[in-house]
Chain A
Amino acid sequence: MYRLCDYNTDLPGTTEGNAMIELAVDAILYILLLAAIGFGWISVIGLLLFPDIRSRAFTGIRAGIIAMTLVTASAICYGLFTWTTNGGMQYMVLVFAAALMLVIVVALNRVAADAICRNAVPAPSHSGEPKDRS
């Protein structure tokens, strides 16, 4: 018998560490999560190495959003697969919560990055004098 999610419901297969996930789904989850770690690494490296705030914001926030998207995609894959095999509403709640969190984080990230970059330094003007081609 599966219970409805009440925030204290354990997701089966997580307490023992012996989740019986099929090999293909397992491989997809491994690839997505490792790629998410890689993009998170790129995000931090971009934050540490790049010289000005625009390149830092562009690389760091984009790579961070990609990492978040990959983790969300792996969580949705896990939730949908386990829901189809085991059933239980907690997996659908997990899928919806993960998708909602991704939407919130991406939207707020865009708004915050726009606000910060607009206030930090004025955007470079592209309407300057034309280059001398001679």
Chain B
Amino acid sequence: MTLDIWLFAAVCLFILTFCAVLRVIPGPTLHDRLIATNIAATLACAGALALTISAGDLIILVLAGLLACIVFATTIRISQVQRRETP
């Protein structure tokens, strides 16, 4: 049995992404949740890159990049809006 190291790395990174997402839910403040979201997006991108090579399909990487851009842009926007609303 051959261990596919790319698939193994992708699975491990997605498990770590899930742990970071679990940190998003009980975050004590909004900023904690935003930081956890950033880390989850970063780890998900790394897992998607490993999964791209394991599956042999570049569309996974493209979709992950687009989703990461959306998540980071949303995070920055939420942070700015929250700053504007804070007296």
Contact = CB atoms under 8 A, between A and B. Distances in A.
Given A14-B54, A97-B58, A98-B49, A37 B36 contact: no
Contact of B43 (A9, A40, A116): A40
Contacts of B38: 60-61, 64, 109, 112-113, 116
Interface string A29-43: 110011011001101
Given A36-B46, A53-B32, A93-B58, A61 B12 contact: no
A115 B76 contact: yes
Contacts of B80: 115, 119
Interface residues of B, number: 50
B25 interface: no
Contacts of A9: 56, 58
Of the candidates A44, A56, A57, the one having the most CB atoms from chain B within 10 angstroms of its own CB is: A44
B26 to A, nearest CB: 11
Dominant secondary structure of chain A at its interface with chain B? helix
B34 to A, nearest CB: 5
Contacts of A84: none
Contact of B75 (A29, A64, A112): A112
Task: Report the 3 A-B pairs with minimum CB-CB distance, sorted nearest first.
Answer: A108-B72, A64-B42, A14-B56
Given A8-B57, A9-B58, A14-B56, 19 more contacts: A10-B57, A17-B2, A29-B5, A37-B12, A41-B16, A43-B42, A44-B39, A47-B36, A67-B43, A75-B52, A94-B53, A98-B49, A104-B68, A109-B38, A112-B72, A112-B75, A113-B38, A118-B83, A119-B80
